[in-house]
Amino acid sequence: MSYDSELNGIKKLRTGTLFEILSMLFPIISVAVILISIPAFSLSTISTSSGNSTALSNTLASATTVLIIASVLFILSPIFQILGVISMRKGFSILRNLGRPVGTGETGATLYLVSLLLLVISLIIIVITSISLISTSSYSDASAGVFLGLFAGTGLAVVAAILGFIGIIMISIGTYQVGDTYRKGIVEVGGILVLVGFLLSFASFLTLALSIISFILIIIGYILVYTGLGGISYNITKGIIPVPYSPLINYQHQYYNQPQYLLYQIGEGTITSNGNAYITLYSQTQAIIISAVIQGYNLISTSINPATLVPGNNNVTLHFNNLYSLMPGTQYISLTINVGGNIVNITAKAVYRP
């Protein structure tokens, strides 16, 4: 079904957003667990000062357990952040392949993942060169290669940090683009808050208050995005997806201006009351219909048969659900088609006869 890929892309974005929320909450929960436990441990220590070794052992065991839990949460935070970016990249990629203008987010996610790889490499270089420097009897005995390694590792870490920051900013912009594409204001607002939050984080070292404001903006933004993506998923399952309304006057011969192929509608199609739309398309080469949407009603097709066009005339059947709002008469159907790796958008004309 044509909407399955669209829904999968949104779900990947939503899962990634959830992981980002959790990655921000884990350190807070970890610190909260430690702070809450401190008074209890203090009271236990005082009560066991009389020399009760068993009670003291229990207190130490409890403290160790709390520290382990806190440490695990701290470790999970960056892991979930990376998993979130990977999931969001997959979501952006799926939507981009469907012709949605969200490529900025995919590029940003790629930059962020590359920055992590560079950061790991830089840390390895710094650790190795630091060990070499420590093992020498004096700084004067250290070779130029050791200092060059430290300089290179530090420089690579700076480059990684810059790429990571740019990547996160582009992901935020991509999230805004998703909200704009699907006409979901809450996702747009969330994307803006995340963007502003990360921009503020660049200067958050100046004051603690700025760091707190930055954190709050980012997490609220992610929560809004997560909620809005849920709404988009619901709309897609109902066959509702916003598209621009731009019918073409010369609908019978719509040419894609590339020299290697020709693609257009033959004659006029029909839409029946059972939700089937019948159109004939001429294609000069093999192509794949990715999605079909009735303009002005935000109705996306739930099946396309055949989805693959062969050279020559192709009789295509599109099925739409929920036609109760569709008015009788001429309708325009936006088709997104993959032709040799290029995304082509054409408009077919069909008459609805309930």
62 and 195 in a common domain: yes
Q: Which of 237, 252, 274 lies at the terminal end of a domain, its last residue?
A: 237
Distance CA 205, CA 89 (A): 29
Look at residue 80 and tell me if it is in a domain: yes
Residues 131, 269 share a domain: no
The per-residue pLDDT for range 23-47, each reduced to its tens digit, is 999 888 888 877 777 665 555 555 5
Separation of alpha carbons 206 and 191, rounded Å: 24
Rg (C-alpha) for the chain, rounded Å, is 28
Q: What is the pLDDT of residues 190-229, one digit of tens each?
A: 999 999 998 888 776 667 788 889 999 999 999 999 999 9
| 255 part of a folded domain | no
- Structure-token pair, residue 56: 């003291």
The pTM score is: 0.63
Listed as own residue / partner, the contacts of 64-73 with beta carbons closer than 8 Å and 24 or more positions apart are 66/33, 66/34, 66/37, 67/34, 69/30, 69/33, 70/30, 70/31, 70/33, 70/34, 71/30, 73/26, 73/27, 73/29, 73/30, 73/33
Q: Are residues 105 and 231 in the same domain?
A: yes
Same domain, 141 and 276: no
Name the pLDDT band for 142 (thresholds 50, 70, 90): low
Is residue 214 in a domain?
yes
On whether both 341 and 200 belong to a single domain, the answer is no
Could you tell me if residue 251 is inside a domain?
no
Domain boundary among 220, 237, 254: 237
Task: Choose one of 237, 272, 291: the last residue of a domain.
Answer: 237
* Predicted local confidence at residue 257, as pLDDT: 43
Task: Give residue 101's domain range.
Answer: 2-237
Question: Residue 229 CB: number of other CB atoms within 10 A?
Answer: 28
Residue 231 and residue 344 share a domain: no
256 is a domain residue: no
Residues 220 and 272 in one domain: no
Identify which has the larger pLDDT, 67 or 351. Answer: 351
Vertex 333, ends 12 and 283: CA angle to 5°?
A: 95
The answer to whether 173 and 105 have CB atoms below 8 angstroms apart is: yes
Q: Is residue 243 in a domain?
A: no
Task: For residue 46, give every residue at least 6 positions away whose Cβ sits within 8 Å of its Cβ, in sequence order, or none.
Answer: none
Helices in the chain by DSSP H: which ranges? Answer: 2-47, 53-97, 103-135, 144-181, 185-201, 208-237
The enclosing domain of 270 has a CATH number of 2.60.40.10
118-122 CB contacts, 8 Å cutoff, 24+ apart: 118/156, 118/157, 118/159, 118/160, 118/163, 119/156, 119/157, 119/160, 119/161, 119/164, 121/156, 122/153, 122/154, 122/155, 122/156, 122/157, 122/160
Q: How far apart are CA 138 and CA 326, in angstroms?
A: 83
- Indicate the pairing of strand 263-272 with strand 276-283: antiparallel
Number of domains observed in the structure of the chain: 2
In a domain, 244, yes or no: no
| Confidence (pLDDT) at 344 | 84
pLDDT in the model for residue 193 = 95
What's the token pair of residue 323? 């036609």
* pLDDT, the chain, mean: 81
Q: Looking at the structure, tell me whether residues 297 and 208 fall in a common domain.
A: no
